[in-house]
Amino acid sequence: MKIIKQVILSLFCAGLLVSCNKKNDAEYFESMDTFMKVRCYGKDSEAANKEAQERISFLEKLISVTKNESEIFAINNADGKPVTVSDETISVIKDALKMAEKSDGAFNPCLYPVSSEWGFTTKKYRIPSDDEINELLKLTDFRKVKIDGNSVSMDKGMKLDLGGIGKGFAGDEAIKVLQKYGIQSALLDLGGNIQTIGKKPDGSLWTVGVKNPWDEGVVASLKLNNEAAITSGGYVRFFIGEDGKKYIHIFDGKTGRPVETDIASATIVCEKGTYGDALSTTTYVLGKEKACQFWKENKDFQMILLYGNNSICYTDGLKGKITLMHEFDNVEIIK
């Protein structure tokens, strides 16, 4: 099917007011198919920043689904044979599978056989037939991924894609590097994934803005302290077919098609980037009602859902941390 339009938009914007004597304002660098920036403060900020960037680039080479030299690429092209990989790769695969199980497949790191056919990796967009999708869905059962020590195997034709969790994992690993240097104040912007160490150097909390998914600007600001804030939304990457329908890059593992949800964007606030990254996808796929129920069953994270045409709901743990900057039709606090 002919594609008549392709749109890529910014996912998350950060509004930062920073004041410090010793700082590292490194330029943005490119990794994991996005632009990133590490801003840290302290005595060894320059060396810490450099090593954090190197760590992120190293991890990309391990877990990229498209780079021929990556360990994920090796697993995906092993024809079902076991592949021995690094501790880092095993760790993030385990985290991805844990979230897949916890969410009953709403988060699924094995959807690449389906999503790649839609062209989101190659940018050669197409709409597969129902028969194609049904056949490919047989290759997406995450429970068939087998781990034995550092060895990974899965059925022939299955393929892992850690794009829904990889940036969060990289952020957590970069923070370990910064902490090794004694950094107590830092902000990492990993392509829209925001992660922080401590507070700003002046003792105030970090401030980030949640982007308006319906228009320009931001709809709310968040105060962060040793937390990650990560957003998923269907307005980030999508194409429009000749049928006039929008097809987004986030997939429903049950249908093999881009997810159709009442949520415009889902923002997660929690301690770890790995968890927050996976959760933002999970809650977006679940939709408002199921996402709220998922939160009530766990409550180890906070959540903001922008839904409908102009509505917001957020969990009560964000009271005092969130400031609305938009005139919503409906505002709901989830308890």
User: 159: Cβ–Cβ under 8 A, 6 or more apart, which residues?
Assistant: 65, 76, 110, 112, 113, 116, 139
Label the pairing between strands 24-25 and 237-241.
unpaired
CA atoms of 245 and 306, how far apart (whole Å):
21
In angstroms, the first-to-last Cα distance of the chain is: 45
Neighbours of 108 (CB within 10 A): 27
The 3-class secondary structure across the chain, one letter per residue, is CCEEEEEECCCCECCCCCCCCCCEECCCEEECCEEEEEEEECCCHHHHHHHHHHHHHHHHHHHCCCCCCCHHHHHHCCCCCCEECCHHHHHHHHHHHHHHHHCCCCCCCCCHHHHHHHCCCCCCCCCCCHHHHHHHHCCCCHHHCEEECCEEECCCCCCCCCCCCHHHHHHHHHHHHHHHCCCCEEEEEECCEEEEECCCCCCCCEEEEEECCCCCCEEEEEEECCCEEEEEECCCEEEEECCCCEEECCEECCCCEECCCCEEEEEEEECCHHHHHHHHHHHHHHCHHHHHHHHHHHCCCEEEEEECCCEEEEEHHHCCCEEECCCCCEEEEEC
pLDDT for 9: 31
What are the pLDDT tens digits along the chain (335 aa)?
434 333 333 333 333 222 222 344 457 889 998 899 999 999 999 999 999 999 999 999 999 999 999 999 999 999 999 999 999 999 999 999 999 999 999 999 999 999 999 998 888 899 999 999 999 999 999 999 999 999 999 999 999 999 999 999 999 999 999 999 999 999 999 988 999 999 999 999 999 999 999 999 999 999 999 999 999 998 878 899 878 899 999 999 999 999 999 999 999 999 999 999 999 999 999 999 999 999 999 999 999 999 999 999 999 999 999 999 999 999 999 99
Q: How many CA atoms lie within 13 A of 188 on its CB side?
A: 35
CA atoms of 289 and 175, how far apart (whole Å):
34
Contact predicate 174/188, CB 8 Å: yes
Neighbours of 102 (CB within 10 A): 16
CA atoms of 233 and 206, how far apart (whole Å):
23
pLDDT for 26: 53
Distances in whole angstroms, Cα of residue 270 to Cα of each of 40, 163, 302: 20, 19, 6
Q: Which two tokens stand for residue 294?
A: 């998922």
Distances in whole angstroms, Cα of residue 202 to Cα of each of 2, 17, 21, 99: 54, 10, 10, 37
CA atoms of 176 and 164, how far apart (whole Å):
21
